[in-house]
Amino acid sequence: MTKSFLGIIGGSGLYDLPGLENKREVKVPSPWGEPSSDVHLGEISGLSVAFLPRHGEGHVQSPSSINYRANIDVMKRVGVTDLISVSACGSFKEELPPGHFVLVDQFIDRTFAREKSFFGEGCVAHVPMADPVSPRLADQIEAAAKAEGIAHTRGGTYLVMEGPQFSTRAESYMYKAWGCSVIGMTNMPEAKLAREAELCYATIAMVTDFDCWHEEHEDVDMTAIIRIMKGNSEKASRLVARIAADFPREHEPCPIGSDRALEHAIVTSRDARDPALLAKLDAVAGRVLNK
């Protein structure tokens, strides 16, 4: 059985991972371009952990300029088996106030200016995305949140907008009417690419505001968000430490097949595949391409 290797992608407010022992920052080359930063490698409670700040050191990457393909590729290259996204978000529900964590299980992708797949002309693949979150990984996050006494909700839909501007009021009302739980700018195409890379993926959505639908709260602004993010970051650090401490040391097969997503996904015949693209797919799809 494969050894577990936990990956953490930190969003706004989480630019480092306190408690990472034997820490070293490694520049991992990727054929997909430059990732957001060097990968921070180390251990927490003896578990191998890789951390990547999604927006780069000093928050220099906007949601639209992040190289999502390179970020997922380098996580795969260092050996990550399970990937947790930590993201700031707005809330569409009274029962999900600022400071609350949501363990989402669905996404609606409204982004339009990003590369969304490792595959394309020369090697076509279609991975299943009906259930984008690995339930076993979500179970582990939920157990850790309960152990740490962190207010959280299991389940919900994350609307991913392009940004970098926040929603108009009309958009906010519409997304709320759709039944969405939270809104953010970064978990797509990240979740899709993680599935293509056969990584178990889950999201910790940290609520910072009520977007702009709530008549009794001020409209979203960065001053209020930053204040809430400080408290969220402290809780997120505790949560990740607890997850790592209790995490299974052997990677168990994902019950929905996240770690075998490419098994029957590639439809391009072997003799028609583009060698140049195959070379770029060595880490992401090597398991199936080398069969």
Q: What's 263's domain CATH number?
A: 3.40.50.1580
- Can you read off the two tokens belonging to residue 262? 């490419």
Q: Is 205 annotated as a binding residue?
A: no
Can you tell me which residue has the tokens 């009309």?
Answer: 170
- Looking at residue 205, its amino acid is A
Is 185 annotated in some ligand binding site?
yes
| Annotated binding-site residue? 88 | yes
39-44 and 47-53 as β-strands: parallel, antiparallel, unpaired?
A: antiparallel
The pLDDT, as a whole number, for residue 9 is 97
> Domain residues for 170?
6-289
Q: What does the pLDDT read at residue 219?
A: 59
Residue 98 preceded by cis peptide, ω within 30: no
Residue 210, annotated ligand binder? yes
The mean pLDDT value for 141-155 works out to 98
Q: pTM of whole model > 0.85? A: yes
Average pLDDT over residues 106-134: 98
| Whether 211 is catalytic | yes
Q: Which two three-digit tokens encode residue 61? A: 């990457």
Structural domain contains residue 246: yes
Give yes or no: 282 in active site.
no
- Summarize pLDDT for 28-87 with one digit per residue, the tens: 999 999 999 999 999 999 999 999 999 998 999 999 999 999 999 999 999 999 999 999
Phi-psi region of 92 (alpha: psi -120 to 50; beta: other; left: phi over 0): alpha
Contact 187, 71 (CB under 8 A): no
Q: What is the pLDDT of residue 192?
A: 98
Please check if 117 is assigned to a binding site. no
In a domain, 193, yes or no: yes
Confidence of residue 221 (pLDDT cuts 50, 70, 90): low
1 is in an annotated binding site: no
Residue 38 lies in a domain: yes
Closest among 116, 16, 21 to 72, alpha carbons compared: 116
Average pLDDT over residues 122-144: 98
Torsion of CA 173, 176, 177, 181, to 10 degrees: 170
pLDDT at 139: 98
Catalytic site residue from 73, 82, 105, 211: 211
Instruction: Judge whether 115 lies within some domain.
Output: yes
* Sheet strands (E) in 194-246: 200-209
Question: Would the annotation count 208 as a binding residue?
Answer: no
Percent of the chain topping pLDDT 70: 97
* For residue 266, pLDDT beyond 70: yes
Domain membership flag for residue 1: no
Q: What is the average pLDDT value for the chain, to the nearest integer?
A: 94
Q: Could you check whether the bond before residue 164 is cis, i.e. omega within 30 degrees of 0?
A: yes
Q: Which of 73, 209, 246, 259 is catalytic?
A: 209
Q: Which of 169, 213, 39, 183 is nearest to 111 (CA)?
A: 183
Total number of domains in the chain = 1
Within-domain flag for 100: yes
Alpha carbon dihedral 227, 71, 110, 222, in 10-degree steps, equals: 20
Q: What is the mean pLDDT of residues 20-32?
A: 97
**pLDDT tier at 155, thresholds 50, 70, 90:** very high
CA distance 147 to 187: 26
Average pLDDT over residues 239-260: 96
233 is an annotated ligand-binding site residue: no
Q: In whole angstroms, give the CA distance from residue 35 to residue 168.
A: 31
Tell me if 220 is assigned to some domain. yes
- Report residue 289 CA to chain centroid gap: 25
How far, in Å, are 57, 207, 233, 245 from residue 238 at the CA level? Answer: 21, 16, 9, 11
